[in-house]
C-alpha cells in the first residue's frame, strides 16, 4: 500500500474508502445492541429496566477504552503524517501499556460499586439483583474490551479499516447468535437468563480482540509494539493523556447525563426510566453509523494536519458533515414514522409504548442539527485538540441539557425532559461551530522531524 495515500488520494474517494467499512461495522454493532436488548426484554420488563440502569457504567467503561484509544489514534496518525515512525511506535506501545492498567483498575472498581449504584435509582430488589448478575459477568471482560479497542485505534491510525470492520462484525455477529442460545438455553447449553446476555457480549468482544492479534502478528502493519518503548516517557504520556482524557470525558458524559435524567424521571415513574433506556438503545442505530464516519475521518484529519495539508483538512470536515447530516435525516424520518413499532420491540405494555412514541417523536427533532456538534467534536479530536472537543460535549451533555431538562420537567413533567434534547442540540450546534473555527486557527502539538 502507498504509505502516503492519506494525503494524495482525492478527498471524497479517500473518505468513502475509510468511512464506509466503519459505517457498515457500526450498523452491525447497532443491530447487535438492539437485538441484545430485544432478547433481554423477553426475560421480563424488570430485566430490561436493570439493563437500562447498568448501561451508564457500561458506557463509562467503553468511554475510557475508546477515549484513550482516540488519543493513541491521533498521536500515531500525527507522527505518521510528519514522517516520524519511531514516535508512532512509541505512542502505540505506551498507549497499550496504559490501556492495560486502565482495564485492570476498572474491572475491580465497577464490579465493587454496582450494588450501591443500582440502589440509587430503584428500590426494587428484583431489578437490583438482575443488574448485579448481569454486570458481574459483563464487567469481567473489561480488560479484553479495553485492549481490543486499543488495537482497533492502532489499525485505524494506519488506515487499515478493513481489519477493524471484519473484527467488529465477527464479534457482533457472534454475540447476536449466542444471545438466544445462552439466555434461553438451546442444544447442550443451559438457560442462563440475563447472565447469558452478558456472556454472549463478552465472547463476541474476545473474538474481536483475537482477530486483531492474529492479523497484527500475521500481517505486520506500519506501527509496531516494541519492547524498548514499554517504559513510559513523560512527553509521550502527556501527549496521549492530553487528547485521551478529554476524549474519554466526551464519551463518558452521556453516562453522567443518563444517570441525571434517570434521577429526574424517577420522580414521575419507572416507566420513563425504561423509555429513556430503550431510546438510548435505539439511538445507537443512528449515532453509531455517524460515529463510524467520524472514526474514519479522525486519522485522515490527523495525518493531513501533521503533513501541513490544511486545505484537505477543511475539505474532509465539510464532506463528513454532509454525510453525518444524511444519516441524521434518516433517523428523524424513522422516529417520526414508526415510533410505536420501535418501542414495541422491547415492551408489550401499552402505557410504555405510548410514552415512548411521544419521546421518540420529540427527541428525533434534534437529530439533524446534532450532526454539527458530532462532526466538529470528532474533527477536533483528530487534530489533537482534545480540550475544545470536550467543551462541545460538556455543552451537549451537561451544561445545557441537565438544567433545561430539570426546569422543563417541573413545568411539563416527563415531556419536558424529551424537549430538552432538541433544544440542547440546537444551542450546541451554534456553540460547536464557534469553538471549531476558533480552535483550528491555533497551532497544535509540535513534532520533531526525523
The pLDDT, as a whole number, for residue 214 is 95
Write down how long the chain is.
Answer: 450
Give CA angle at 155 (151, 161), nearest 5°.
125
Q: Where are the alpha helices (DSSP H) in 44-141?
A: 45-81, 85-119, 125-139
What percentage of the chain exceeds 70 in pLDDT? 95
Contacts of 150 by beta carbon, 8 Å cutoff, 6+ apart? 65, 68, 69, 72, 95, 96, 99
Distance (Å) of CA 69 to CA 59, 62, 166, 266, 323: 15, 10, 19, 34, 24
The pLDDT, as a whole number, for residue 445 is 47
Which three three-digit cell numbers place residue 206?
A: 474476545
Average pLDDT estimate for 4-32: 75
Residue 36 φ/ψ, nearest 5 degrees: -55, -50
Contacts of 240 by beta carbon, 8 Å cutoff, 6+ apart? 68, 71, 72, 75, 91, 94, 95, 98
Whether residue 449 is predicted with pLDDT greater than 80 in this model: the reply is no
Residue 134 φ/ψ, nearest 5 degrees: -70, -50
Which three three-digit cell numbers place residue 431?
A: 456553540
Contacts of 381 by beta carbon, 8 Å cutoff, 6+ apart? 70, 74, 243, 246, 247, 250, 298, 389
CA 417, 418, 423, 424: dihedral to nearest 10 degrees?
A: 70
Whether residue 450 is predicted with pLDDT greater than 50 in this model: the reply is no
pLDDT in tens, 432-442: 999 998 887 76
pLDDT in tens, 31-89: 766 777 888 888 888 898 888 888 888 888 988 998 898 889 888 888 887 788 888 99
The pLDDT, as a whole number, for residue 111 is 94
The pLDDT, as a whole number, for residue 205 is 92
Find, among 385, 386, 370, 368, the residue nearest to 429 by Cα. 370
Q: Which residue has the higher pLDDT, 26 or 354?
A: 354
The pLDDT, as a whole number, for residue 370 is 95
178-182, 247-251, 409-413: which has the minimum mean pLDDT? 247-251
Q: How many helices (H) and strands (E) does the chain have?
A: 18, 0
The pLDDT, as a whole number, for residue 4 is 63
Whether residue 421 is predicted with pLDDT greater than 70 in this model: the reply is yes
Give CA angle at 287 (428, 362), nearest 5°.
65
Whether residue 358 is predicted with pLDDT greater than 80 in this model: the reply is yes
Whether residue 287 is predicted with pLDDT greater than 80 in this model: the reply is yes
6-10, 370-374, 421-425: which has the minimum mean pLDDT? 6-10
Q: Are 115 and 130 in contact, with CB atoms under 8 Å apart? A: no
The pLDDT, as a whole number, for residue 168 is 86
Q: Are 37 and 346 in contact, with CB atoms under 8 Å apart? A: yes
The pLDDT, as a whole number, for residue 29 is 66
Residue 220: band (very low, low, confident or very high) from pLDDT cuts 50, 70, 90: confident
Q: Are 174 and 34 in contact, with CB atoms under 8 Å apart? A: no
pLDDT in tens, 268-277: 888 898 899 8
Residue 3: band (very low, low, confident or very high) from pLDDT cuts 50, 70, 90: low
Whether residue 2 is predicted with pLDDT greater than 50 in this model: the reply is no
Q: Are 159 and 299 in contact, with CB atoms under 8 Å apart? A: yes
Contacts of 430 by beta carbon, 8 Å cutoff, 6+ apart? none
Whether residue 135 is predicted with pLDDT greater than 90 in this model: the reply is yes
Contacts of 172 by beta carbon, 8 Å cutoff, 6+ apart? 25, 28, 29, 31, 32, 204
Whether residue 251 is predicted with pLDDT greater than 90 in this model: the reply is no
Find, among 119, 62, 122, the residue nearest to 273 by Cα. 122
Whether residue 1 is predicted with pLDDT greater than 80 in this model: the reply is no
Amino acid at each position: 500500500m502507498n504509505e502516503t495515500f492519506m494525503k494524495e488520494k482525492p478527498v471524497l474517494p479517500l473518505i468513502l474508502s475509510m468511512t464506509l467499512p466503519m459505517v457498515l461495522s457500526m450498523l452491525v454493532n447497532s443491530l447487535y445492541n438492539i437485538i441484545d436488548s430485544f432478547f433481554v426484554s423477553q426475560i421480563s420488563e424488570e430485566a430490561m429496566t436493570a439493563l437500562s440502569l447498568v448501561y451508564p457504567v457500561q458506557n463509562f467503561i467503553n468511554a475510557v477504552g475508546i477515549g484513550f484509544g482516540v488519543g493513541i489514534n491521533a498521536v500515531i496518525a500525527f507522527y505518521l503524517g510528519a514522517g516520524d515512525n519511531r514516535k508512532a511506535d512509541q505512542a502505540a506501545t505506551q498507549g497499550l501499556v496504559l490501556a492495560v492498567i486502565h482495564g485492570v483498575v476498572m474491572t475491580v472498581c465497577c464490579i465493587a460499586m454496582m450494588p450501591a449504584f443500582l440502589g440509587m435509582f430503584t428500590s426494587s430488589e428484583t431489578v437490583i439483583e438482575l443488574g448485579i448478575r448481569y454486570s458481574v459477568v459483563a464487567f469481567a471482560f473489561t480488560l479484553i474490551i479495553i485492549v481490543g479497542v486499543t488495537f482497533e485505534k492502532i489499525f485505524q491510525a494506519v488506515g487499515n479499516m478493513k481489519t477493524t470492520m471484519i473484527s467488529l462484525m465477527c464479534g457482533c455477529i457472534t454475540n447476536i447468535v449466542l444471545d438466544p442460545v445462552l439466555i434461553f438455553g438451546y442444544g447442550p447449553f443451559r438457560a442462563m437468563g440475563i447472565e447469558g446476555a452478558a456472556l454472549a457480549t463478552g465472547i463476541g468482544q474476545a473474538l474481536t480482540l483475537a482477530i486483531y492479534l492474529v492479523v497484527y502478528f500475521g500481517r505486520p502493519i506500519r506501527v509496531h509494539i516494541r519492547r524498548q518503548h514499554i517504559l513510559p516517557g513523560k512527553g509521550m504520556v502527556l501527549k496521549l493523556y492530553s487528547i485521551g482524557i478529554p476524549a474519554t470525558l466526551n464519551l463518558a458524559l452521556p453516562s453522567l447525563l443518563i444517570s441525571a435524567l434517570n434521577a429526574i424521571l424517577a420522580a414521575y415513574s419507572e416507566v420513563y426510566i425504561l423509555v429513556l433506556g430503550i431510546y438510548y438503545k435505539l439511538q445507537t442505530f443512528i449515532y453509531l453509523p455517524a460515529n463510524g464516519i467520524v472514526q474514519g475521518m479522525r486519522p485522515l484529519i490527523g495525518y493531513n494536519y501533521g503533513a501541513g495539508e490544511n486545505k484537505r483538512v477543511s475539505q474532509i470536515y465539510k464532506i463528513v458533515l454532509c454525510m453525518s447530516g444524511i444519516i441524521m435525516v434518516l433517523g428523524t424520518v424513522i422516529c417520526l414514522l414508526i415510533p410505536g413499532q420501535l418501542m414495541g420491540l422491547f415492551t408489550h405494555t401499552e402505557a410504555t409504548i405510548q410514552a415512548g412514541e411521544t419521546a421518540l417523536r420529540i427527541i428525533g427533532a434534534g437529530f439533524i442539527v446534532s450532526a454539527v456538534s458530532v462532526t466538529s467534536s470528532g474533527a477536533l479530536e483528530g487534530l489533537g485538540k482534545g480540550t475544545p472537543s470536550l467543551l462541545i460535549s460538556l455543552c451537549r451533555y451537561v451544561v445545557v441539557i441537565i438544567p433545561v431538562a430539570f426546569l422543563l420537567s417541573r413545568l411539563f413533567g416527563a415531556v419536558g425532559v424529551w424537549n430538552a434534547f432538541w433544544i440542547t442540540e440546537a444551542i450546541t450546534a451554534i456553540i460547536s461551530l464557534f469553538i471549531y473555527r476558533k480552535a483550528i486557527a491555533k497551532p497544535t502539538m509540535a513534532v520533531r522531524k526525523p
